[in-house]
Chain A
Amino acid sequence: GAVVSQHPSRVICKSGTSVKIECRSLDFQATTMFWYRQFPKQSLMLMATSNEGSKATYEQGVEKDKFLINHASLTLSTLTVTSAHPEDSSFYICSARDQLAGASYEQYFGPGTRLTVT
């Protein structure tokens, strides 16, 4: 149980284009999903927290107009990188909390998406 999928696993796009990454909780309902960015050999950096049916909360320094997050259902959140540039190339990871998990606050992680902007 508690499986989170991400699609695509890898994507290459041209500079100036937009790319959408999907994050799905496959066997549980997730009221809260999280988006992280990870550079090589570094820790995970939280970009934003999304709650189903409401606007995402972005971390300081993260451009909300560049990284659009939509959490339209209890099993799907999307991250759209708009007008991508080479510096946006990174590994993006989503995670989700099971709304029935109670106070454990455990997050289940997707396998990640490697974005390369050329």
Chain B
Amino acid sequence: AQTVTQSQPEMSVQEAETVTLSCTYDTSESDYYLFWYKQPPSRQMILVIRQEAYKQQNATENRFSVNFQKAAKSFSLKISDSQLGDAAMYFCALTSGSRLTFGEGTQLTVNP
């Protein structure tokens, strides 16, 4: 069985500052993918960033980057230069086949 844990139900950050969202996971598979999804108030799920487990290099997408620690089964998301539009629920997710396993989510507030 796969599990994903997000231990921060809520986080806040000042506009233009940096924030890190935590995620740990567990899987017995050697080949898997990790994702961070953003769900704004519209509730549309938006892919933020993706990491292949076999890649050692941390994924980066503009202001978003991850710290992937495979041995520790940790996959944190760093948002740099936070913007008001980053305010949303963020979900960490794991898949090694067809199904996605989601964490409980972290509600991010961006303060102006």
Contacts and interface: CB of A to CB of B under 8 A. Distances in A.
Q: Is the interface of A mostly helix, strand, loop or mixed?
A: strand
Contacts of A75: none
A97 B98 CA distance: 8
Contact of A105 (B33, B45, B104): B33
B95 interface: yes
A111 B43 contact: yes
A44 B99 CA distance: 12
Contacts, number: 52
A24 to B, nearest CB: 15
Interface residues of B, number: 25
A91 B102 CA distance: 16
A111 B44 contact: yes
A109 B50 CA distance: 15
Interface in B55-109: 89, 91, 95-100, 102-105, 107
Contact of A43 (B47, B52, B105): B105
Given A43-B105, A44-B102, A105 B95 contact: yes
Contacts of A44: 45, 91, 102
Interface of A: 32, 34, 38, 41-44, 46, 49, 91, 93, 95, 97, 103-107, 109, 111-112
Interface of B: 31, 33, 35, 37, 42-47, 50, 52, 89, 91, 95-100, 102-105, 107
Given A97-B98, A105-B98, A112-B43, 14 more contacts: A32-B98, A41-B107, A43-B102, A43-B104, A44-B45, A46-B99, A46-B100, A49-B99, A93-B45, A104-B50, A105-B33, A105-B95, A109-B46, A111-B42
